[in-house]
Structure formats: C-alpha cells, structure tokens
Amino acid sequence: MKNKYTKILVTGGAGFIGSHVVDLLIKRGYKVVVVDSMKKKKGWLNAKVRYYRTDINDPGLAAIFKKEKPDAVFHLAAHIEDRVSVREPVMNAKENILGSLRVFEACRNFKVKKIVFASSGIVYGEQKKFPLNEKVTPWPLTPYAISKLVGEHYLNFYSKIIGVPGVALRLANVYGPRQDSRGDSGVVAIFSEKMFKKQAVAVNNDGKTTRDYVYVGDVARAFLLALESKYEGEVNISTGREISTLEIFKTLKTLTKSDCKLIFNPKHQDRIKRVCLNPRLASKTIGWKPKISTSAGFKATVAWFKSRV
Amino acid sequence: MMKKKLKKILVTGGLGFIGSNLVDSLVEHGHKVVVVDRNKPSVFKLLNPKAKHYQMDFGSPEIKKILQKEKPEVIFHMAAQISVPKSVADPVGDAENNIIKSLGLLEVARKNGVKRFVFASSGGAIYGDYPSFPTPELRSVKPLSPYGIGKQTFEYYLFQATQEHGFSTMILRMANVYGPRQGLKGNSGVVGVFCEKIVLDEPLEIFNQGKETRDFLFVGDAVAAFHKAIDSSEQGFVNISSGREINIKKLFTTLAKISGKKVDFKLSPPRSKGEILRSVLDNRLAKKKLNWQPKTSLEDGLKKTYAWFEKNKLELSKKNR
C-alpha cells in the first residue's frame, strides 16, 4: 500500500512510545523528523531521523516546521508524571496545554495535513460501567488528565474549525521495551527491573486495582493506521482486558523466575480502582486491533529488561 | 429578614463590564471590596470609590502579597480575555490568560487562606452547538472556540481543586450578559454594539440575517447570582441565564423601538465559521442550588441599557477618536 503522507514530524520521538512509533515509520518508508527535548534521559533515537533537540514550547519550533514542511505530525511530547502534576499543576499545564497548542498552531500555519495526538485513557477518570467507550463523558481527576482532555478539545477545534484533521488516541496503560522504570506509572517496567535486580516489589493497597495494558508495538501501529485513515476524533487504543496489579506480579514473577517479595502498601490507595477501555471503535474507524497477546507482550518486555541488567 | 454576613471580597476584572456592576452592588450591600484590574479607571467612572483598586494583572506574582495583606475570604474571578474571534486568531494567547494565569491565581488563593473561589464562566461558549435546548449543565462538552475550551478547562481545574484539596469553588456559567457599561473596550456583545451604534446614529450590521439566537441576561440579574454564591455551600456549576431564546433580529427591532429612532442597518452573511447558531440555557438548577432566578424582562433590561448609552453619548463619541 502506498503511503498517503511522506514526511512525518514526531514530537517526543525519542521517548518510550515515540521511539517505537518512529522505528515503525522508518521501517514503512516514511521520512521522519523528531522534535524532542530529551530533558531527563538519553532517549531512544532512531539513527535515520532528522533530529531537533528542542522543547515544543521553544520559539524555535515554528522555524523547524517552516524548514521541514512535514505532511503530518504525531504529537507525543508531554509532561507525563501524573502525581507531580498534582503538586505542580501550572508547570504541567504550561508544558502540556500550551505545548500542544504551539504544536497545533505550527500545524495550522505551515499547512500540515494531519495530526495524531497521544491522549490517554486517564481522561475518563473514575467510572462505574466497563468497558468504557468513547461516548462516556470524561471526568479528569488530575491536572495531567485535564491536560490530555484539553489537548483533545483543542485538536477538535483545529479539526472542525481550522481544517487540520486530527485523531486523538486514548491510550490505555502502555507497556513494553524501553519503558522508564523510574516513573510512578509503568508497573510492568518497575516490576521487571526490580525482579532482575532482586529487589522487593510494592503494590498499592490490596493489589486488586485493575488496568487495561496494551503493548507498545500495537500502539505504534495505531499511530500509523490513524494517520492513513479518514477518521477524525477520539478513539480508545486498548485491549479491553482488565488485569490486576497482583496478576501482573505473578505473571512477571514466573517469567523472570524470580523469588521476589511482594509488599502491600495499605496507605497508598489508587484513586481509580478499575480501568478497561473498549477497543471496538478503533477497529471500525482506523482498522486497528491489538495483535500481541498479553503473554507475548510480557515476554518481550521481560526479555528486554533482562538484557539491560 | 436574615442578616447577611459581610465579607471581604476580591474581584478580578472589577473595572470591566460585569465586574464593575458587581463591585458597585457588593459595596452597596456593605461588603469590603478589593479590585484587581490592570486597567486604569476610565472616563466612565467604573471604579467604585469605596473599593480599593490594585492596578495590576491578576496573573502577576504580586498577587500573593495582596492576598496575604488584604486577606479576602472570597474571590470573584471575572478578569479574562473575552473575545471569541481573538481566541480563534491566537489560541495560545487566550490560553495563557484564561487557563495558565487563572490556574496560578487558583493555586495562590488556595494556599493563602481564601475560603471560596467563584468563577465567571460562559455557558454559550462552552456548550457550542450542543443540540439540546434549553441546554442543561453538561459536565464535559467540546466547545467550538478556543475561548470556550479555555473556560471549560479552568472549570476542570476548579473541580480538581475541590476534589483533591477540599477547596470551596463555584462556577457560574453565564448566558449572554448585557447591560449598562457593556463593551467599552471594543470587544462587546451584540447589545452593546447595537446600543452604541444607535445612540451615535451609525449604521449597523446584522450578521447571518439576524437568525442566530441568544439567551440575554440582564447584568443586574447576573450580579444577584454572585451574591447568592457568596454564602452558599454548593460546589460545582450552574447556568445563570434568562432561559429565553431571542433571535438577533428581534433584539434589534426591540432596541430600535426603545430608541424611537429610524435605524440604518444592513443584513449580512454569517461572520465566521464556528459562530454559534442557537444558544439558550436551562436555569432551573440555579434556582435549586442558589435560590436564584432572573427578574428583569428583556424590555426593561434593554431600556436601562439604552438609557445608560444615551447618558454617556458624549464620552462614547470620543472613545475611538
């Protein structure tokens, strides 16, 4: 199949999810430009991209668009630490809300033909009926979640009023190789690393909190499918399967053959007890379904963390 | 009659259209009022002499010192970038003012002893073309303009502050407020524009053949809702509206009749993409939660408004020169 778009600019293209997206773009023959500040990490930059070490809030962003003239933009750069956002909402809003707006404005001014935005299932907040579909009214509980939902609203404005078609991918809990194990999310990464380092693992409360875990390779495919589709709007990228933290612990323990101890942390309550996102709309609109089974995904992730220890 | 507790209240944008009407009324009721507004008092004398004015931007870091010094119990946050077309032309500028600076104010207020934070939001701009009329208080919608998105975004942060920190907040989603002092800085609602043009005998333009509808609420009624919000323990949002749907053509003929003049006008195509075609807000929740109801008929409200423009004809004619 011939690609409709030639050159893709990826913000956050050196990060965990972004780098997988970039690798897949390169493999499929796209030209790729990466804009990433690489603030905290060395990143996972594909050697075949043109790379700009720039923050999306820097005034230099427009010049990059002007020079590169990308056909489409994947916007993944963000401040992603949910708990930090509660302490520092203004910082988070500047990075994520103003940052996204600056990216979208550059798309408007330099005639970008498509935007795919990395949103998050976190926008739904605390809900009662599962699995959640896209018609459920979002109710974000943290500044980070607010910033993602607001990014979607602005994208909708650019799509409907300005005429730059946009798709927002509401990603479930993404896991896989290269995930940062230092953050406060990313339980698969954190557990895997601790098990190989023979450290004890802690779970919040009773470990029965559930999330919908989706493999990063599947997520990367979703970006490319969203790009080439005609759909505009929000869509869940998920498996539709709930897995408890305890289950993850057990599965990873078996895979790593570790005798790692589990500590319960009754003081740490998870505000959102259950997450499960219905992936049906993605199948209908952009032709995406998760392909990697949980066991295959976990195996691949564990193998990668093992190679890094 | 129950005696109301008098409070110290800080009003951002207290020299603006709604803000200045609100300040006058608060002072009249005996509250102590501190105004934070970056503008200088103008020839229209909108600054109440009994209110203390800090001429500064509410987003300035100095605001913390003012809160610590003045110790207001309540903040009415009225200051905003209020032009929808401007927000479309410059969404970043709109967000910097209406989201980032407002969020900064909220954080400082929460950490410096403010007891209640009341936000002037916008019903029409948030609901956009949501296809249900009169529109009830929807939790989360997709506004059509960056202005509407910005207003809804700050609402999310207010909710978050209430849920996470127990901070007392109230959101008044206003309909199209009109009245004396409207639109003195050029970015006015349609009533202000029409009154000014009629008073100055200038020709006026009615967009989209006057078919668009709005929910016009008299500023005196809007101000009454803020009074009710002071002592209420309610959290969350309510629509503050007339609940009446009026099209622009009808508004124009009513005003023209009040003026007794023969008004020169022309009918034009829609002004821009994303203009809201219909807007009328359900106000029953405000009655339940705040015991508030609109009292002024459109005719009476427009008469009072027109009379103010007539009285200030001379100043208005100089304004743009």
Tell me the pLDDT tens digit for each residue of B176-201: 999 999 977 666 689 999 999 999 99
DSSP one-letter code for A121: G
pLDDT > 60? residue A199: yes
Q: Report cis status (omega within 30 of 0) of the bond before A138.
A: no
Distances (CA, A) of B131 to A293, B124, B280: 41, 12, 11
Q: Is B162 on the interface with A (CB under 8 A)?
A: no
SS3 B284: helix
Per CB-CB distance under 8 Å, the chain A contacts of B152 are 153
Cα A66 from chain centre = 27
Whole-number mean pLDDT of chain B? Answer: 93
Tell me, yes or no, if B88 comes closer than 8 A to chain A by beta carbon.
yes
Residue B219 has φ and ψ, to the nearest 5°, of -60, -30
Statement: residue B85 has pLDDT above 70: yes
Distance in angstroms (rounded) separating the CA atoms of residues B149 and B226: 23
Q: Quote the strand ranges of chain B, DSSP E.
A: 8-12, 32-36, 52-54, 74-77, 116-122, 168-174, 176-178, 204-206, 213-214, 216-218, 236-240, 246-247, 265-267
**What distance in Å separates the CA atoms of residue A267 and residue A78, rounded to the nearest whole number?**
29
Please spell the DSSP secondary structure of B226-263, one letter per residue.
Answer: HHHHHH----EEEEE-----EEHHHHHHHHHHHHTS--
Residues in a beta bridge with B76: B11, B118
What's the CA gap between B235 and B246, in Å, rounded? Answer: 30
Confidence of residue B292 (pLDDT cuts 50, 70, 90): very high
What Å distances lie between residue A264 and A12, A245, A257, B179, CA to CA?
34, 11, 21, 61
- Tell me which chain B residues have a C-beta less than 8 angstroms from the C-beta of A153: 142-143, 149, 152-153
Please name the amino acid found at residue B145: S
Is pLDDT above 80 for B2? Answer: no
Closest residue, chain A, to B59 (C-alpha): A90
Contact across the interface for A93 and B274, Cβ inside 8 Å = no
Domain boundaries, chain A: 7-174+215-240+276-291
Q: Are B200 and B265 in contact (CB under 8 A)?
A: no
Please answer yes or no on whether B142 and A86 come within 8 Å at the CB atom.
no
Contact A290, A214 (CB under 8 A): yes
Pick from B99, B146, B163: CB nearest A93: B99
Tokens of A231: 């759909």
Q: What is the mean pLDDT of residues B76-89?
A: 94
Enumerate residues 6+ apart whose C-beta is below 8 A from A102.
Answer: A56, A57, A61, B92
pLDDT of residue B319: 62
Residue A157 burial (CB < 10 Å; 0-12/13-18/19+)?
A: buried
Active site includes A52?
Answer: no
Distance between CA atoms of B53 and A236, rounded to whole angstroms? 50
Q: In B, which residues are within 8 Å of A156 by CB distance?
A: 142
Put simply, the answer to whether B96 touches A150 (Cβ < 8 Å) is no
CATH assignment of B8-319, among 3.40.50.1370, 3.40.1190.20, 3.40.50.720, 3.50.50.60: 3.40.50.720
May I ask the CATH class of domain A7-174+215-240+276-291?
Answer: alpha beta
Query: Do the Cβ atoms of B86 and B94 come closer than 8 Å?
Result: yes
**pTM greater than 0.90 (yes/no):** yes
Element (H, E) at A244: strand A242-244
Instruction: Name residue A32's beta-bridge partners.
Output: A8
What are the Cα distances from residue B134, in Å, to B38, B142, B245? Answer: 36, 17, 8
Alpha helices in A234-273 (DSSP H): 245-256
**Catalytic sites of B, residue numbers:** 147
Q: Do B156 and A94 touch (CB under 8 A)?
A: no
Longest C-alpha distance within chain A, in Å?
Answer: 57
Other CB atoms within a 10 A radius of the CB of residue B317 amount to 14
CA distance A53 to A77: 12
Amino acid (one-letter) located at B12: T
Question: In chain A, whose CA is at the least distance from the CA of B96?
Answer: A98
pLDDT digits (tens, 9 = 90+) for A105-130: 999 999 999 999 999 999 999 999 99
For chain A, what percent of residues have pLDDT higher than 90?
Answer: 88
Instruction: Using pLDDT thresholds of 50, 70 and 90, give the confidence band for residue B274.
Output: low
ipTM of the complex: 0.96
* Whether B100 contacts chain A with CB within 8 A: yes
Q: Give every CB contact of residue B4 below 8 A, 6+ residues apart in sequence.
A: B29, B231
Q: How far apart are CA B234 and CA B49, in angstroms?
A: 32
The gap from C-alpha B101 to its chain's centroid, in whole angstroms, comes to: 18
Out of A52, A124, A144, A213, pick the active-site residue.
A144
Residues of chain A positioned with their CB less than 8 A from the CB of B145: 157, 161
Residues B247 and B211: their CA atoms lie apart, in Å, by 6
Rounded distance between C-alpha atoms, residue B296 and residue A279, angstroms = 51
Is the distance from CB of B12 to CB of B67 less than 8 angstroms? Answer: no
B85 in reach of chain A (CB within 8 A): no
Which residues on B lie below 8 Å from A104 (Cβ)? 91
Peptide bond into A131 cis (omega under 30): yes
* Angstrom distance (rounded) from CA A190 to CA A204: 13
Nearest Cα neighbor of B236 from B160, B165, B153 is B160
Across B212-221, average pLDDT? 97
- Smallest Cβ–Cβ distance between B140 and the set A93, A139, A154 belongs to A139
The confidence score (pLDDT) of residue A41 equals: 66
Q: Which residue type does A299 have?
A: K
- Cβ-Cβ contacts under 8 Å, A89 against chain B: 103, 107, 157, 160
Question: Which of A58, A79, A97, A127 would you mutate first to test chain B, the one with the most B CBs within 10 A?
Answer: A97
Cα nearest neighbour of A95 on chain B = B100
* Token pair for B154: 């700050």
- Res B1: pLDDT: 45
All structural domains of chain B with their residue ranges: 8-319
What band does A267 get if pLDDT is binned at 50, 70 and 90?
A: confident
Across A283-305, b (16+ Cβ under 10 Å) vs e yields eebbebebebebeebbebbbeeb
Residue of B nearest to A124 (CA): B140
As a whole number of angstroms, the distance between CA A191 and CA A234 comes to 31
The 10s digit of each residue's pLDDT in B245-256 is 999 999 999 999
Instruction: Tell me what percent of the residues of chain A surpass a pLDDT of 70.
Output: 98
Place of tokens 């009513």: B254
What values do phi and psi take at B188, rounded to 5? -110, 160
Mean pLDDT along residues A68-73? 98
Query: What pLDDT, on the 0 to 100 scale, is given for residue A309?
Result: 76
